[in-house]
Each structure stands twice: as C-alpha cells, then as structure tokens.
Structure 1
Amino acid sequence: MSFDFSKLLSVAWGGWTTSWPTELLALIWLAFLLSWIGASFWQGQTKKQVMTLESQRYSLPILVGGILFTPWVAELLGWKPLWVLGNSGIYVAAVLSIAGIAFAWWGRLHLGKFWSNTITHKEDHRVIDTGPYGIVRHPIYTGLIFGMLVTGIAIGMVTTILGAILISLGMWQKGRMEEVFLSKELGEDAYGAYCRRVPMIIPFLSPR
C-alpha cells in the first residue's frame, strides 16, 4: 500500500487556509511560530522558575486555544464562518496581525537574555522598563493577543475566535503569575513600583 503524501498535505493545509487571502494569515502565523522557536535558544541562565504543575494554570488554556485556532478543527467539525470579510478585510487583518507580531518581537528583542518561555528568574535579572516595556508590562502578550484576536475575527470561525480568546486568557493568567513571582524575586520596591507605573497589557489604561 503506497503512501499518498498529497492527502496528508491536504489535511495539514486545509480548512480556512485553502483559499487566498485567508491563506496569507496562516502563512504569517507559521512564519512567526518558526522564527519564535528558532529564537528560543537565545536566553540567559535560569536561576529559579515556577513549578510545572503551577504553570498548567496558564499553559492549558493556551494549548487548548492553540488547537482550536488551527484551521483543522473547524474543518473536522464541518463548521462554516459566521461572516465573510472579503479580500480587503482580510488584507487589513493581515497588516494588523503583522503589526501585533512586530510589537511582540520588539518586546522579545528588547528583553534579550531575560526572555523565557516559562516564568523564570534569570541570572542578573532586573526590571526592564524601557522601550515597549515602558508602554505595557507585557508587550509580547499585548502583540500576540492583538494579532490573534484580529485573525480570529477575520476568519470568522467560532473555533478561531474561541481559540484566540482562550490563548488571550492564558497569556493574561501567565502575566499575573509572572508579576507575583517577579515581585517576590526582584523585590516589591523594584517590580511592584513598575507595576504601579505601567499598564499590564492594554496601553494607556490606568496601571493595576
């Protein structure tokens, strides 16, 4: 029995990715994912981190949301879009998604060796409050939440919208846990003061 690679490809690249320009949105997020994985090797030495069981409070919503965000779930369920934006709307959404990703990358690059995929205290860790971190405390989450919500709405699938919402909630939860952790590790006078000065995720809101 011969293996039909074309069938595997059609499943992997199916759902809302089968037509242009919605396919462009998938390519944007695929490029982001690959670049982010590649950059994950650039980080400093970890001094302390949150235990794995505790991290499930944010990792599970992100995981489930990520699965729902993929085009395959809606295809398997046979669900149709709630609305269709048209080509112009999708192109606008693509530009906005790229803007969100760019903001997240700005935060990643500005954080440098202090970045980590988990909640950690790095060697020589200090409060970063310049660049995008002077706008919001979690610019990576801000950019990704914005980009994913835009993409989810642009696609118009219940699954992509729900996936984007779950990912957003997971990132918000992770941000809260990071702040509690870093306030203890870096000191309330340093990190706590930063939290009282800069908004968490949404720019220009009163800090909380």
Structure 2
Amino acid sequence: MLDVAGGAGGDALPLAALGHEVTLVDPAGALLECARTHAEGLPGRVHVVQAHAEDVPHLFTAAAFDVVLCHGLLHHVDDRVALLRAVTAPLRPGGLLSVVGPNPAADPLVAAAGEGDLDRALALAGSGRVWVQEVRAALPACTADDVRADLTALGAEPIAHYGIRCVADLVAPPVDPDALEVLELALADRMPYPLLARFFHLLARRG
C-alpha cells in the first residue's frame, strides 16, 4: 500500500497496526521523522520516503502496489489529472485508489449549525471555495464530482462514494463518542448524507 503525502502517518500507522505494509511518501522531513518514531513498534510494516507526489512514477515500478491513498492533497494542486496520473503510476491494474478531500457543500452547514455563524455560512454558500479549519485558509473548491470526472478521464472506474464526518461538526457537545461513531458509520454510505459530509471519500479501481 502506498500513502501519498501521508505526513506523520495518520492513515499509514493505523493501517500498519492492522497488519498492512505501507510505504509513506511526503516531502516534509519533520513529519516523516515523526512517522518513523511512531512506527518503531511496527517493524517492517512502514517504509518512509521523502519526496513529492509528482516524484512517485520515478520512485516505484509499475504494479508495485495494490492500493494507493491520496488523502487531503488534490485540492492543493492546479492539475488534478496530472497528479492522479502520477500517484497511480505504480498501482497494479485492478488496484484501488482512495481519494479524500474537503467537501465545499458542507461548509455553510458547519458554519451555521456547528458554529452559529450565519453571515459566514451565507458567504460560503456562494463563494465556490472551501474552508479548511486546520490551516485557517480558503482553498479552491474541489468536489467529489470533479474528482470522479478526473478519475474517469484517466480510465479509472469510480466504485464508491462515502462521507466522512457527516454529522460530527454539526452536533453540540457533549456527545457520546461511541454513539456518534455508530451514527457516522450508518450514514457514511447512505445517500444523500455523503453529499453533505465534511469530507468526501471516493474509491476507484484502476483499469
């Protein structure tokens, strides 16, 4: 499994703990060092490579991986198709590509219901941009439909659309975390909730 722009291993390490072998690629040395430290208890399961996503075709052979993760990256680039082509270069035919990104349709709901800020909700509703709280910056919108079209242009077959954080950002604390997890899992693949979730998650199969 290849995790592109995986940072400190937020996705790679839990997957390695489940028994998967994961190669983590990221340009940030400090984040990769953090991943290395936390992977010490998982010998042989986490491999770390400092490089940019665009370098992937030059780092690995064709069909080297069964699964490629591209999470939280596409909305930062101008040419999504070129990036997807690069990160899927070492994916075997029939292998799975997992793409996660912020969903701009959720922003007005989060601002209104989760934060009580109706003015910002109205501004976001017509802005065509996405608000990522972690970086406190407005980024160009990149929707699930956009990415689905990109994948199709590459000859990949979109096979699933999930929602991440369908309600978590809309409920006021205190909330039972176990009950919230059960609800999130129940809504994740049940339309129309993925269309309004804080993040979209697409799975595609390489042709």
Q: How high is the TM-score relative to the length of structure 2?
A: 0.30
Q: Give the structure with the higher percent strand.
A: 2
Choose 1 or 2 for highest CA Rg.
Answer: 1
Q: Which has the higher contact order (CA 8 A, sep 6+)?
A: 1
Q: How high is the TM-score relative to the length of structure 1?
A: 0.30
